[in-house]
Amino acid sequence: MAMRRAPPLLFPAAAKHTATVIFAHGLGDTGHGWSSAVENWRRRQKLDEVKFILPHAPQIPVTAAEGMSMPGWYDIFALTGKVDDIKKDQDERGILQSRDYFNGLIQAEIDSGVPASRIILGGFSQGGAISLFTGLTAKVKLAGIVALSCYLPLDAKFADFLKENDNNHQTPILMCHGDEDNVVPTRFGKASYDLLKSKDFDVTMKLYSGMAHSACLEELDEVEDFLRARLPPQADEKSEL
């Protein structure tokens, strides 16, 4: 039976639509939680050709919250802030279901005329984790991946998933993390970065002094610069017709 999902929150491009950013929120949040960041980027008018899609995770029972139902991209079995506890039990079925959902969002944009090379997938915390995993194993080559305060899930099986699809080995990845994160420990994010770097992925990691499990203005400016660099304006290019 298909999981019930609310339609994503959409921010149309302010100018001609030539690119799309899909950004996933964290556990217990909704797409609305990142609407202010998107609205701020739109006000600055550096991403006028970009459509933003902020999906809402479905309500699922979360084991770490004693089975309480909340928005989540997959189940979490421990919220102790310990790396080993996060790695020990991972909801592979839920992760793969969410990957299918995000792949569907990507394909819908491609079907509407936006090439994969003009699509960026990103997210924060659990949303960053599912975006990182989905982007790195996607069937199409994306313009970029943004992973904030998160980690690479199913890392022990990552090599096996790459055997199925390894189209984004050269796709730029921006990882950002606070150096005082006790929810997704900074060293876990760093370990994911080190794993990807060791496999020659095009990954950059930015650490923010004093930042816990949250975002900051400096980080959001870094993300905006990354989006702008990967999705430069095209509308003013001369037509070949």
Query: Active-site residue numbers?
Result: 125, 181, 213
* Whether the Cβ atoms of residue 115 and residue 106 lie closer than 8 Å to each other: no
CA distance 73 to 97: 8
- For residue 15, what are its two tokens? 């100018």
Check residue 48 and report its DSSP letter.
T
Cα–Cα distances (Å) from 87 to 76, 81, 91, 109, 163, in that order, read 10, 11, 10, 33, 22
Beta strands in the chain (DSSP E): 9-11, 19-24, 50-54, 59-62, 68-71, 119-124, 144-148, 173-178, 203-208
